Each structure stands twice: as structure tokens, then as C-alpha cells.
Chain A
Amino acid sequence: MVLQELASRLQNDFSAALVRTVEWRGELSVTVMRGRLHEVAQFLRNDPAMDFDYIVHVSSVDWPDDEERFEVVYEFYSIRKRHQIRLKTRVPESDCVVDSLTDLWKGADFMEREVYDMMGIRFRNHPDLRRILLPDDYTEGYPLRKDFPLRGKGWRDTFEFLDETAR
């Protein structure tokens, strides 16, 4: 299906759920309301004209200045129909929960765990939501958030070093 058709189909069926539709560099990305993410995803998965059977990646972006701080990004592809879509939703920091899509795509399991590990977004109904790349007892926060320091925590400045000239 051509991207415009995809977009207009979604616009018709889910006009109340859509927040924004952007087409850029030949890619369609659709932002939906958080509460209806699972419903839209289910439609994308099961509708015969959509047929998005393949999950490409799950990602997350942090926008610290926005009211709804985090963005969860799903990317789907249809192997039979050969079209691709990016489904996004925004999450506020105070209530960092999204419905998990593991019941629709099995591969979402590890990908969502990675998002939880790196960005601290929790997924409702996820079967095994634990940290995946970092240790289970890691307490220093979520590394891909923008408030996690990019160049160390200043420990290096506190190191004592020998002054060679003072010998």
C-alpha cells in the first residue's frame, strides 16, 4: 500500500486516536494517544490490508523540555505487502507506562526490555520486565535519558595525583 493510502486509512478509522502524521524521506510516522496504542497496533497487525507482521525495532527518545517527556517508537514492516510504518506515542515522566505489544509480536519482548533498561519506561502486561543489558542491581538511573551525564560524573576531577615537581 502506498504511504498516503496507509495514512488516510488510519485517519479514517482512528481519527480520534491520532495525534500527528508525518511523512518525511519516504517514511510514514504516526503518533497516537498512549491509551490507544495497543488498539492501533492490533489493527496494524491483524487487518488484511495492513498486515504488519514483522517488528523492526522498538526505541525511545527523551525530550526533557516537553510536557510529555518520553517518546516510545515502534517500527513495523509487512513482509507480504512490503510497506513500513513508524508508530509513536508520548509518555509523561510522572506516569511512565505504556501497554506492551508482546502479545502481538513475540520479538517485542527483548526490545521492550531494552527500552525499559535504557530509558525507564515500563510496559504494562510485559511477561518479564527486567533490566537486560545493565546489571539487575544497577541503581544509577537510566543511561539514555538526557539527564544522565554524557561525559562522566566529575569523579575524574576529584582524583588525587602526584605532583612531580614537588619531589
Chain B
Amino acid sequence: MAFEDQRTTVYKIDPAHPESETLPTLRTEELLLNMGPQHPATHGVLKVILELEGERLVKSTPVLGYLHRGVEKLAEDGTYHQFIPHTDRLDYVCAMYNNFAYCRAVEKLMNITVPDRAEYLRTIVAEVQRIVGHQFWLGTQALDIGAMTVFFYCFRDREILMDWFDELCGARLTTSWYRIGGVERDLTPSLLDKLKQFLDYFPPKIDEYQVFLETNRIWVGRTKGVAIISAEDAVSFGLSGPTLRGSGVDYDLRKAQPYSAYPKCEFSVPLGKNGDTYDRYWIRVLELYESVKIIRQCLEQMQDGPIMADVPSVTLPPKQRVFTNLESMIQQFKLFSQGFDAPPGEIYCGTEAHKGELGFYIVSTGGGKPYRLKIRAPSFIHMGAFDHMSRGYMISDAVTIFGTYDIVMGECDR
């Protein structure tokens, strides 16, 4: 029997083998399998074309762009302030950190110093957001590979923080709480109480998550030794965040290029050894403890003071004054209709979001709108390493590898 397909190879049993006469010829061929774009484990609309040999992945080609909305082009049409709500929609699971990264980039462009209290508030909320992000990751990643219980536990605790965000800024996901030069509003005594309660409540819960996963043989079997990437490759691919630190590379922007209130806090950056999915999980769990530590220190150190930089040509006036004072109203109107006059130049500013380095590259030619705004999205860059990391593993491991990046398609496709 002849096979016309060029991909087909015929394996024959050794003719010297005594059973060679009786066994039929084994026919093997490569199989192409589309995974996604609507697959529950791809965390959004992501398609990957898997080339298979048996159940092993020979090559995988990510097909991106199902959620492409042209955010970078949109940015060229609005003022700097108007772009803040768009950043919510990048990584829609962790909007606060996107706001933070963007505001920091614009502040660097405008050379604005943020007041101390605002820096502490920003750090506190950013770390709360990191906890939310890691809980979300932990729950869904475990769910994808068959550990369901921990998903409910993570989401139960995440809900407390979502309600906290709701009380802080009126939205659970699309927060837009950060402003260029400061933050929108201060923490109320009720919010402070709730946060302190949560900090006491939360660390024992992390232990609980760990017990659920680390005693689950199936989960451990599916994460240990899966999707290994060496430190050199991880750096060369431009991976960042826990995905990079899992391979033992000590690179955390909070330490390497300290910003906000991080230099005033003591915390450690956990590093992995083996560069596999399990190490990356372990790093994220340890980061939960570190985040609790950072928030506690910030709450202790924080002093009263202004929450917005006093640069009237750039920063927004307080909302109360907008409604009672004519000049403030005119200022607000001008800032939103024309924007502020940015100096010509270009800057890049990276921020350590919980997924990795989220950066904004802004080119300004003067005037109120960015000439070009480029978003360095960690999810997109991590997908570049997908083929490399998945080769040789099984189909079912592809799900683990999506999970290990903590990928969100809103950010990947922009």
C-alpha cells in the first residue's frame, strides 16, 4: 500500500524479528490540530496550531489577534488623561497595575514628582492588585489542569478584594483609580479597617491553597518538570516577571529600578531553580506573602499629606473644587479637551506588573496627544516562547503552558 501524502513515513518492524511476518506495517503521520480559539483553557480567544506526532507536540504556532482592538492607534487620538480608562482594558483582570504603569510613564515624560502619601497609596493598591492577580492565576491554572477546589477558595478570597476595589473607586475590574500625578481619592477609615482585617485573614489562607495543591498528586505530576526553560533562553526570549524568575534570573523591576514606595519597604524576590511550571507556581505563592508584607509596611509608614502632585498645568483639580470653583472647572475642562502640553521627546518606562514587565514607550512631538504610544505587553512576549517551551510535551501539557504564563488575551492582542 502506497501513501501519497509526503508527510507520511512508514516504520517497519525489524525484518529479523521473529514476529515480523505476522505484524502489519505501522503507519505514522503528523497531525495538525487546532486548539482554540474557543477553548476554555486558553484564557480568552487564542488559537494555537499544534503539529503532533502521536500525542507529542512537534511544533506549535500561536495565532494571535482575535482580541485586537487597536489600542495603540486609539491612544494617538486622545489626550494623555483620556487614555487611562483604555489601559483598564489591556489586562482586564488587573486594571490597577496597568493604570499605574501608564501613569508612571506619563509622569516620567512630564517630569512630575508624586507626593509621598500618593506613592504609598499607589504601592498599597498595586500590591493588593498583585494579590488579586496571583489568586486569579492560581485558581484558573489549577482548574485548567484538574484541581477544582482551590479555584473556589481563591475566588472566595478574591471577592473580598473585589468588593474593596468597588468601595475604593466604584468598579471591580475597570478601576481607573490612578491619575497622572497622584491618585483619584484617598483611603477612607472603613477601607483601611477592611484592608487590615484582610491582611490578618489572608496568610493562613495561602497555606490552605498550598495544602490543596501540593498534596494533589495529579496536579504535582502535571506541573513538575513541565515547560522547562533555561535561564539563558528565558532572558533571550525577553520573558519577565515570575516566568523569568522561575528560571532563577534575579530580575525584578521593583528592585532593579526601584520606584514608588518600594525602596522604603523590605521584601525579598523569590527565585526558582528548575525553571518549570512548579517553580513558577511556587514563586507566585511566595510573592503573595511578600505582598502582604509590603502592604503592612506601607500602612505603618504612611503619613498624612496631599494625594496629588501640585502641577496645575498637568494634574487634575480635586473633584469637589471642580463643582464649586470656576477656575478649577475651567482647568478640568481644558485638561480633558485639549490636554496638557507635553515636551517633545521619547521615554520608555517599565513597571513590574504581576505578569511581568509592563512598559509604555511614548513618543511626543509636543501638544496634548501622544504621537506614538507602544505598549510592551508581557503576555504577548511570553507567547513568543510558547513554541520553544512546548516542544516535546504532550497535548494536555499545552494547557499547563498557557497557564504558566498567566496569559490574558486583552493584553496580548491589545
Please report the total number of B residues contacting A with Cβ < 8 Å: 43
Closest to A84 in B: B348
Q: Which of A25, A54, A114, A118 contacts B238 (CB under 8 A)?
A: A54
Say whether B236 contacts A53, CB under 8 Å: yes
**Interchain CB contact (< 8 A) of B111 among A25, A62, A105, A118:** A25
Q: Complex formed: what's the CA distance from A109 to B388 in Å?
A: 12
Q: CA of A61 to CA of B251 in the docked complex: distance in angstroms?
A: 29
Taking the complex as formed, is A43 at the interface, i.e. its CB lies under 8 A from any CB of chain B? no
Determine the chain A residues whose CB is within 8 A of the CB of B111 once the complex forms.
Answer: 25
B250 to chain A, nearest CB (A): 8
Query: A107 at the A/B interface (Cβ < 8 Å)?
Result: yes
Taking the complex as formed, is B162 at the interface, i.e. its CB lies under 8 A from any CB of chain A? no
Partner of B371 from A25, A61, A79, A86 at Cβ < 8 Å: A61
Contact A24 B238 (CB under 8 A): no
Could you tell me if A111 and B384 are in contact, using CB atoms closer than 8 angstroms? yes
Say yes or no: A56 contacts B357, CB within 8 Å.
Answer: yes
The reply to whether B235 and A54 contact each other, CB–CB distance below 8 Å, is yes
A57 CB–B CB distance under 8 Å = yes
Q: Is the CB of A82 within 8 A of B256?
A: yes
Taking CB atoms and an 8 Å cut-off, the chain B residues in 399-414 that contact chain A are 413-414
User: A107-B237, A150-B73 in contact; A25/B350 too (CB < 8 A)?
Assistant: no
The CA-CA distance from A79 to B77 in the complex, in Å, is 35
Which one of B72, B251, B381 contacts A110 once the chains associate, using CB atoms below 8 Å? B381
Q: Which residues of A contact B350 (CB under 8 A)?
A: 56
Which of the segments B62-70, B196-204, B214-222, B264-272 contacts the partner chain? B62-70
B256-282 interface bits toward A, Cβ cutoff 8 Å, 1 = contact, 0 = none:
110000000000000000000000000
Contact (Cβ within 8 A) B384 A56: no
Rounded to whole Å, the gap between the CB of A8 and the closest CB of chain B is: 22
Interface residue stretch chosen among B290-298, B318-326, B372-380: B372-380
Taken residue by residue from 218 to 234, chain B's Cβ proximity to chain A (1 for < 8 Å, 0 otherwise) reads as 00000000000000010
The answer to whether B372 touches A25, judged by C-beta atoms less than 8 angstroms apart, is no
Does A134 have its Cβ within 8 Å of any Cβ on chain B? yes
Residue of B77, B256, B345, B385 touching A107 (CB-CB under 8 A): B385
* Interface membership of chain B positions 344-379, coded 1 if the CB is closer than 8 angstroms to chain A and 0 otherwise: 011110100000010101010000000110101000
B383 x A110 contact (CB < 8 A): yes
Known: A25-B111, A27-B347, A56-B359. A114 touches B77 (CB 8 A): no
Q: Within the assembled complex, what's the spacing in Å between the Cα atoms of A136 and B77?
A: 26
Q: Is A93 part of the contact surface with B, judged by Cβ < 8 Å? A: no
Question: Are B236's CB and A106's CB within 8 A?
Answer: yes
Contact between chains at A144 and B73 (CB < 8 Å): yes
Bound CA–CA A54/B111 (angstroms): 26
Verify A134–B65 contact, CB threshold 8 A: yes
B238 and A135 contacting across the interface, CB-CB below 8 Å: no
Residue of B with least CB distance to A45? B236
Nearest CB of chain A from residue B360's CB, rounded to whole Å: 10
A56-B376, A57-B361, A57-B376 given; A105·B65 CB < 8 A? no
Q: Are A150 and B77 within 8 A (Cβ)?
A: yes
Contacts of B77 in A (CB 8 A): 150-151
A143-B73 contact, Cβ under 8 Å, with A73-B361, A106-B236: yes
When C-beta atoms are compared, the residue in chain B nearest to A62 turns out to be B372
Contacts of A151 in B (CB 8 A): 77
- Does A132 sit within 8 A of B, measured CB to CB? yes
The residue that B72 contacts in the complex, of A56, A107, A118, A132, with Cβ under 8 A, is A118
Q: Does B76 have its Cβ within 8 Å of any Cβ on chain A?
A: yes
Determine the distance from Cα of A118 to Cα of B250 in the docked complex, in whole angstroms: 33
Does B251 contact A75, Cβ atoms closer than 8 Å?
Answer: no
Taken together as a complex, chains A and B put the C-alpha atoms of A110 and B383 apart, in Å, by 8
User: Shortest CB–CB separation between residue B405 and chain A, in angstroms?
Assistant: 13
Tell which of A25, A84, A105 touches B108, judged by Cβ atoms closer than 8 Å. Answer: A25
Supplied contacts A55-B236, A106-B236, 12 more A-B pairs, CB within 8 Å: A24-B345, A24-B347, A29-B346, A55-B238, A56-B238, A61-B363, A73-B361, A79-B235, A79-B249, A107-B239, A133-B413, A144-B372
**A residues in contact (CB < 8 Å) with B:** 24-25, 27, 29, 53-57, 59, 61-62, 73, 75, 79, 82, 84, 86, 105-107, 109-111, 114, 118, 131-135, 143-144, 148, 150-151
5 closest residue pairs by CB, A with B = A107-B238, A110-B384, A133-B65, A59-B374, A57-B376
> Would you mind naming 29 contact pairs between A and B with Cβ atoms under 8 Å apart?
A24-B346, A27-B348, A54-B235, A54-B238, A55-B238, A56-B350, A57-B376, A59-B372, A59-B374, A61-B371, A79-B249, A86-B346, A105-B238, A106-B236, A106-B384, A106-B385, A106-B388, A107-B239, A107-B381, A110-B384, A111-B238, A118-B72, A131-B65, A132-B64, A132-B65, A133-B65, A134-B68, A150-B76, A151-B77
